[in-house]
């Protein structure tokens, strides 16, 4: 093809097009910066998606103590994928497996994302001392903020803890500072790594006293299949 003068842009057009492209890029960046706040902290979901009242809870374990199958969840309170699990799959797990007494589920912290993870985990573990761990972790996921944005404030903790029936908020704050909880939170990361955990959420299934095995969960169907499988075996 041989472009003639009618088959090519004038220099002015090219300059204008490139200037327009640069302006479009700047506009995109400005829009991106302005509108990121829309998803800065994922909007808090105001109401709990799952009812836990009436389900036995003992420290970090939710469900019938007699259930043979235990699903262990390694979790970081700041991890968005853990929030997704808690909001999208956990209600089904509770309603179809935990409440009917088929399985019990155990919470284990793996606070690797940052200081907010560690602080949140201290309060989550402290809530376990009042057998309200699962309510608090669920409420914190619903109110999750941007990673290491300092969102785990005393105000937020007081507010979400205050909404959990039967949770003594003052005791929670005292327990969260106790040596036992602080130490346990600090060693949680090392313990998870020693168990071969590399990310969150990680799910393990333990049948009776057998060695726990990891399951890959990409959706609620896969989760249900893995649990059904464990119940059969």
Partner 1 sequence: MSDRSLRFAVAIVALAGIAVAGYLSWAHYADSTVVCVAGGGCETVQKSKYSEMAGVPVAALGLVAYVVVLALTAWDSWIARLSAAAIALTGLLFGAYLLALQFFVIDAICVWCLANDVLIAPALAVLTALRLRQDWGQTEGSDAV
Pick one of 28, 174, 190, 210: the residue that binds partner 1 (CB under 8 A): 28
How far, CA to CA in Å, does 144 sit from each of 88, 133, 135? 15, 16, 14
DSSP string of 120-175, one letter each residue? HHHHHHHHHTTT-HHHHHHHHHHT--STTSS---HHHHHHHHHTSTT--HHHHHHH
**43 lines the binding site for partner 1 (CB under 8 A):** no
Q: 155 to 184, contacts with partner 1 by CB under 8 A?
A: none
Q: Please compute, for residue 181, the number of CA atoms within 13 A of its CA located in the half-sphere on the CB side.
A: 24
229 phi/psi in degrees, rounded to 5:
-60, -45
**196 lines the binding site for partner 1 (CB under 8 A):** no
Q: Determine the 3-state secondary structure of 228 from DSSP.
A: helix
Separation of alpha carbons 176 and 123, rounded Å: 5
Pick one of 81, 190, 210, 225: the residue that binds partner 1 (CB under 8 A): 81
CB of 149 to partner 1, least distance (A): 9
Alpha-carbon dihedral sign for residues 173, 174, 179, 181: negative
Pick one of 39, 155, 165, 208: the residue that binds partner 1 (CB under 8 A): 39
Pick one of 26, 43, 190, 210: the residue that binds partner 1 (CB under 8 A): 26
**20 lines the binding site for partner 1 (CB under 8 A):** yes
CB of 93 to partner 1, least distance (A): 13
Pick one of 45, 84, 92, 178: the residue that binds partner 1 (CB under 8 A): 84
Residue 5: DSSP 8-state: G
Part of the chain binding partner 1 (CB under 8 A), chosen from 58-66, 72-80, 95-103, 123-131:
72-80
**Contact residues for partner 1, defined by CB under 8 A:** 1-5, 7-14, 17-18, 20-22, 24-26, 28-29, 31-32, 35-41, 76, 79-82, 84-85, 88-89, 110, 112-113, 146-147, 193, 198-202, 217-220
């Amino acid at each position: 093809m041989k472009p003639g003068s009618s088959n090519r842009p004038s220099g002015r057009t090219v300059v204008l097009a490139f200037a327009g492209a640069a302006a479009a890029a700047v506009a995109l960046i400005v829009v991106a910066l302005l509108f990121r706040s829309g998803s800065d902290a994922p909007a808090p979901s105001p109401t709990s998606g799952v009812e836990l009242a009436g389900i036995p809870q003992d420290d970090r374990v939710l469900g019938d103590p007699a259930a043979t199958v235990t699903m262990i969840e390694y979790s970081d309170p700041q991890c968005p994928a853990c929030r997704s699990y808690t909001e999208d799959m956990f209600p089904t797990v509770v309603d179809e497996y935990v409440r009917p007494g088929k399985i019990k589920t155990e919470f284990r912290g793996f606070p690797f994302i940052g200081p907010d993870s560690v602080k949140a985990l201290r309060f989550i573990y402290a809530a376990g001392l009042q057998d309200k761990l699962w309510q608090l972790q669920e409420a914190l996921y619903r109110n999750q903020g941007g990673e290491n944005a300092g969102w785990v404030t005393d105000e937020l903790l007081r507010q979400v803890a205050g909404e959990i029936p039967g949770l003594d908020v003052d005791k929670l704050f005292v327990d969260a500072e106790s040596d036992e909880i602080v130490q346990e939170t600090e060693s949680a990361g090392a313990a998870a790594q020693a168990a071969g955990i590399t990310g969150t959420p990680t799910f393990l299934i333990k049948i009776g006293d057998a060695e726990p095995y990891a399951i890959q969960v990409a959706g609620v169907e896969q989760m249900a299949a893995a649990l059904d499988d464990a119940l059969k075996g």
